[in-house]
Amino acid sequence: MRRVVLGLIPILMAAQVPRTWTDAAVAELEVPLANPASSPVHISEEAYYKIPERTLHKTYPVYHPDREPAGYQQWLKEQEPQVVFAPGETPSDWVRAGEIVFNAPTSFGPVFFSAEDVRDRKFYEETGMPVAADGTIPFANWVVRKKGQVELGSMGCNTCHTRVLSDGTTVPGAQGNNPGDRQGARMLRLGARFAGEDKILERIRGFAAQFEMPWLASDPNRRARSMPLDALIAAGEAIPPGVTARSNTSMFVPPQVPDLIGVQDRRFLDHTGLVRHRGIADLMRYSTLVQDVMGFARYGDLPPRATGPGIRYSDAQLYALAIYVYSLRPPPNPHRETEQTARGREVFEREKCHVCHAPPFYTNNRLIPAPGFRPPAKHKSLYGVMDRRVDTDPRYTLETRKGTGYYKVPSLKGVWYRGPFGHNGWVMTLEEWFDPARLRDGYVASGFRTGGRVPGHEYGLKLPPGDKSALLAFLRTL
């Protein structure tokens, strides 16, 4: 909200950067896991501030090979390394500095794609990697950390939280649409051919091991230990753009990438509402948690996954990043209000969608218990847990390290430019979300393929066709 950003100005002017990782704030940061004894215990304040800070170097756009300016690679080789992060005085200086952090790579080797891939026409044809109208790939960039050495950097926020619309517009912060997990699957397939199946199998099983939850009586994530390579590759290929098996999630029930535009109005972060969002410092904590220090957490008796010095964003980088994320705005909406959308708004109210998707944010910011989870009594007032159930697939919130037993009510803003929908991104379109066929056995969804029907959230499924199209037209104006 514009209001919030303006309200920050006096603080910005004084450049009062909050201290990100304090023991007190971190202790209350997260909603406990569904199995509370296994809730993560994070790295201490003292240990956090011993982690070295990330240096951010100037980055350069990556172009589709047909759109790269002549001599570009040679020119890059001649560039001096430059350290770029400098927040400055005014609020707009901070927004600009935050944009640098958002796009700053955290990885300099191949993750979803390699330096060779992004310069290979065939890679785009095979994976459908979107290209922006100006010929650039906003999901990655070239970096010069050492003169003469041009590296492909990725896994900044931009890799997952940037969307290229069908007209080539780049929308920073929107639900991403680079097919990352499919590109990763392709890399495994090629890797098996060149480096040998055993080596690749070991690598992918190592990746899958991070998702395991040994405290579950029957941990579905353990399946990866005995799955053949083809099945593991197929698991990656089942994940559409806009959904991704991020750390601490699961390859088998990966989450939808949320839209960050409007995040300042949400009280909980992640589909399971794991992380509380009490103010800007919590967004700073969230960012360093997922990018830098999640691996240092202890889960019950389970020792930390990561060792070693690690690396982290500085407090100033995180503050600038959070200010930038709060400043993000949706693209101009081509869907205007009409008689049909006015009727759709009436349907929305008549069907009581607003009870959960309450305007103006189109979420009431509350948590809903998943099937099979009994919320502790004190959670009701502490976190605003609703008595109602929506009955979507409980696995993401019961069988992953982000699982609280709840799903939050998502905001419906921006549904016209984003998708797939549902917490695992099962369906590609709103039409499909409101199609009762998805409830039937044997249904094959168009988004993340669970191998079965898409149960739950039965609201609006039985509407007469005229009401349904009016409702959808209304939703597209939000």
Evaluate the omega torsion of the peptide bond into residue 334 and state whether it is cis, within 30 degrees of 0. no
Q: Closest separation between CB of residue 260 and ligand HEC, Å?
A: 6
Nearest residue to 267 via CA among 376, 411, 390: 411
Which of 388, 436, 444, 466 lies at the binding interface for ligand HEC (CB under 6 A)? 388
CA separation for the pair 197, 178 (Å, rounded): 26
Residue 59 sits in the site that holds ligand HEC (CB under 6 A): no
Residue 250 CB, nearest distance to ligand HEC (Å)? 10
Which one of 215-223, 231-239, 293-301, 349-357 is the stretch in contact with ligand HEC (CB under 6 A)?
349-357
Residues 258-277 that bind ligand HEC (CB under 6 A): 258, 260, 263, 266, 269-272
From 42, 433, 468, 478, residue interacting with ligand HEC (rule: CB under 6 A): 433
Query: In the complex, what is the shortest distance from the CB of residue 80 to ligand HEC, in angstroms, rounded to a whole number?
Result: 26
For 339, half-sphere exposure in the C-beta direction (CA atoms, 13 angstrom radius) is 1
Which of 108, 373, 443, 459 forms a contact with ligand HEC (CB under 6 A)?
A: 459
Nearest 5°: CA angle at 223, between 246 and 255? 25
Q: Does 286 bind ligand HEC (CB under 6 A)?
A: yes
Residue 113 interacts with ligand HEC (CB under 6 A)?
no
By CB under 6 A, name the one of 63, 94, 139, 407 that touches ligand HEC.
Answer: 407
How many residues does the structure list for the chain?
478
Among residues 42, 110, 109, 111, the alpha carbon closest in space to that of 306 is found at 42
Of 14, 31, 86, nearest to 405 by C-alpha is: 31
Q: In this structure, how many other beta carbons lie within 10 angstroms of the beta carbon of residue 382?
A: 11
Alpha-carbon distance values, 313 to 102, 104, 316 (Å): 11, 10, 8
Could you say whether residue 115 binds ligand HEC (CB under 6 A)? no
Interface with ligand HEC includes 187 (CB under 6 A)? Answer: no
Smallest gap from Cβ 282 to ligand HEC, in A, equals 9
**Three-class SS of residue 59?**
strand
Contact between 155 and ligand HEC by CB under 6 A: the answer reads yes
For the CB of residue 402, give the shortest distance to ligand HEC in the complex, in Å.
5
Token pair belonging to 180: 């990352």
Does 325 participate in binding ligand HEC (rule CB under 6 A)? Answer: yes
Provide, rounded to whole angstroms, the least separation between the CB of residue 275 and ligand HEC.
7
With a CB cutoff of 8 Å and minimum separation 6, the contacts of 395 are 220, 250, 252, 253
Pair 271, 258: CB distance under 8 Å: yes
If one asks whether residue 192 binds ligand HEC (CB under 6 A), the answer comes out as: no
Does 394 interact with ligand HEC (rule: CB under 6 A)? no
Q: Is 355 in the site for ligand HEC (CB under 6 A)?
A: yes
Which residue's CB is nearer to ligand HEC, number 42 or number 271? 271
- A 10 A CB-CB count for 357 gives 20
Give the Cα separation of 285 and 291 in Å (integer): 10
Size of the site for ligand HEC (CB under 6 A): 52
- What are the CA-CA distances from residue 260 to residues 109, 202, 244, 337 (Å)? 26, 34, 15, 24
Tokens 């790295």, located at residue:
43
User: CA-CA distance, 138 to 154, in Å (whole number)?
Assistant: 10
Options 255, 403, 405, 447; binder of ligand HEC; rule CB under 6 A: 255
In the complex, least distance from residue 477 CB atom to ligand HEC, rounded to whole angstroms: 13
User: Could you give the CA distance from residue 370 to residue 110 in angstroms, rounded to a whole number?
Assistant: 37
Q: Does 402 bind ligand HEC (CB under 6 A)?
A: yes
**Does residue 462 bind ligand HEC (CB under 6 A)?**
no
Q: Which helix (H) or strand (E) holds 269?
A: strand 268-269
Q: How far is the CB of 408 from ligand HEC (least distance, A)?
A: 7
Binding site for ligand HEC (CB under 6 A): 155, 157, 159-161, 244, 246, 249, 255-258, 260, 263, 266, 269-272, 283, 286-287, 290-291, 321, 325, 348, 351-353, 355-357, 368, 388, 390, 392, 402, 407, 409-410, 412, 415, 421-423, 430, 433, 457, 459-460, 471
